Structure 1
Amino acid sequence: MSHYADRKDLFPMQGGCPCGHIRYQINLPPLLVQTCHCTLCQRQMGSAFAINAVIESSAVSLLPSAPLTTPLSKAEQSSSSPSSGSVCGVLPAFADLTNAATTAIVTLPTDNNNAAHNAANNHKINKPILVALPTQSKVGQTVAQCPLCRGNLWSYYADAGTLVTYLIASTLDRPWELEPDVHIFTRSRREFVSLNDGKPQFKENYPDRAVFYRPDTKERVDALTELQGAWRKQIRAAYKAQFAKI
């Protein structure tokens, strides 16, 4: 199977949150795709690991909201009678009962098949909210979530600010197209997960991510590094000015 970066038919790729309120597009192949097996990623994802596509934030675009559809798996796409891909609906009675029994400050649409709802929202580009969460790597993390369904979409880390997006690959419409390039924090890998893809593995974080960048990303990485340097200078200057007032 060809590496995702060599697949000219893949990009741009689109994805979104579980309810369809936030939709996005990545316009370039990721710089790197990593699987993190740390226990905090397991908790945040509600799964055994997280697959993150590392990409410049400038290559990520927000799209108008869209009715939620069930993504077709790779096998279903090649099937003559796919079992999914239709517009998803929410049972109104169940949704109303659930919302009435909680203290949520937002309410999900009770019916994604409602024509009026779709017409009012399909042209709107909605923005995620940002939530600060801890990380096992001890680098500050801010997670972008849908304000309605609270689905996690991507993360920003304190070492790069909002210049670099760690996209949660499972939110893509075709997540299986991005195979991981490296596995990290395998010390907490769940025993039922078998890593037999031949990709590099690290018990903790990797010592130097630059080793795993492809040669074709050099110009992109160099430009990003320059921006990160300027951003760090601004942050240091801002902190210095703030402490000078104390």
Structure 2
Amino acid sequence: MGSAFAINAIIESSAVSLLPSAPLTAPLSKAEQQSSPSSSSVCSVLPAFADLTNAATTATVTLPTDNDAANNNKINNPILVALPTQSKVGQTVAQCPLCRGNLWSYYADAGTLVTYLIASTLDRPWELEPDVHIYTRSRREFVSLNDGKPQFEENYPDRAVFYRPETKERVDALTKLQGMWRKQIRAAYKAQFAKI
């Protein structure tokens, strides 16, 4: 369902596959995973809680049963929501249609070509550690980042410095497509704000 910190796994959108919907769950911690045969903990909403807090529950989608073979592999598409950003370009967030938790984002650098997958939504989020910490200016004082990874108060000055060697071919393949995307977004930005 989420985590205290957003760790993004940056991946080509073409490599992301939606899976059939499953019961609403929260990933187990690394310690719980080692002692439990399950990979997650089932979540739910008490309808009375939703009523008493004047909220609509998002957890009312009926999942297919084993007897419902026709719908057993139904994939519920994420809900895409464009949010405002300081850059005035925006970011698009993909939300789970069942729990409305954020799954991934698209940013101005590559649009829908690159997915910033929220690592805490994975079954084993502890298997991905950050390579770099960005936007640390909004980090609360009680949060320490002492893992030796590079830190930047805003975005990194040159992302390419942080690409792992095994990703070079994949990054090169995206470069031309990103150029076309950036041309489109710059034109839209100029039309809207008459500057760049």
Fold similarity call, TM over 0.5: yes
Asked if 1 retains the 8 angstrom alpha-carbon contact of 2:47 and 2:57, the reply is no
Distance 1:82 1:70, change over 3 A: farther
Rounded to whole Å, the distance in 2 between the matches of 1:134 and 1:106 is 29
Over aligned residues, Cα RMSD in angstroms?
4.7
Asked if 2 retains the 8 angstrom alpha-carbon contact of 1:54 and 1:165, the reply is yes
Match of 1:154 in 2: 104
Rounded to whole Å, the distance in 2 between the matches of 1:240 and 1:186 is 30
Shift of 1:90: 4.5
Of residues 223, 231, 234, the one that matches 2:184 is 234
Shift of 1:146: 2.1
Shift of 1:231: 3.1
Rounded to whole Å, the distance in 2 between the matches of 1:104 and 1:127 is 15
Asked if 2 retains the 8 angstrom alpha-carbon contact of 1:66 and 1:122, the reply is no
Shift of 1:232: 3.6
Distance 1:146 1:120, change over 3 A: farther
Distance 1:159 1:146, change over 3 A: same
Rounded to whole Å, the distance in 1 between the matches of 2:65 and 2:185 is 43
Distance 1:109 1:149, change over 3 A: farther
Asked if 2 retains the 8 angstrom alpha-carbon contact of 1:66 and 1:121, the reply is no
Distance 1:106 1:86, change over 3 A: closer
For residues 218-238 of structure 1, what are the alpha-carbon distances to aligned partners after superposition, in whole Å with 9 as ceiling and x for unaligned?
000000112112334456788
Larger strand percent: 1
Shift of 1:49: 3.4
Shift of 1:118: 7.7
> Structure 1: 5+ residue runs without aligned partners?
1-44, 112-116
Shift of 1:73: 2.1
Asked if 2 retains the 8 angstrom alpha-carbon contact of 1:72 and 1:85, the reply is yes
Asked if 2 retains the 8 angstrom alpha-carbon contact of 1:76 and 1:83, the reply is no
Asked if 2 retains the 8 angstrom alpha-carbon contact of 1:131 and 1:142, the reply is yes
Distance 1:208 1:226, change over 3 A: same
Asked if 2 retains the 8 angstrom alpha-carbon contact of 1:145 and 1:152, the reply is yes
Partner of 1:218, secondary structure, is: helix
Q: Which moved more, 1:179-188 or 1:225-234?
A: 225-234
Asked if 2 retains the 8 angstrom alpha-carbon contact of 1:130 and 1:145, the reply is yes
Distance 1:122 1:46, change over 3 A: closer
Asked if 2 retains the 8 angstrom alpha-carbon contact of 1:137 and 1:205, the reply is no
Distance 1:93 1:84, change over 3 A: farther
Distance 1:119 1:92, change over 3 A: farther
For residues 154-186 of structure 1, what are the alpha-carbon distances to aligned partners after superposition, in whole Å with 9 as ceiling and x for unaligned?
100123110000111111111111001101121
Distance 1:81 1:162, change over 3 A: closer
> Structure 2: 5+ residue runs without aligned partners?
none
Normalising by structure 2, report the TM-score.
Answer: 0.76
Query: How many equivalent pairs are there?
Result: 196
Normalising by structure 1, report the TM-score.
Answer: 0.62
For residues 120-156 of structure 1, what are the alpha-carbon distances to aligned partners after superposition, in whole Å with 9 as ceiling and x for unaligned?
7541011111111123455521111123422111100
Shift of 1:66: 1.3
Asked if 1 retains the 8 angstrom alpha-carbon contact of 2:44 and 2:59, the reply is no
Rounded to whole Å, the distance in 2 between the matches of 1:160 and 1:53 is 14
For residues 50-108 of structure 1, what are the alpha-carbon distances to aligned partners after superposition, in whole Å with 9 as ceiling and x for unaligned?
2111111011001111123443322123x456798454455455556667778999899
Partner of 2:7, secondary structure, is: strand
Shift of 1:191: 1.1
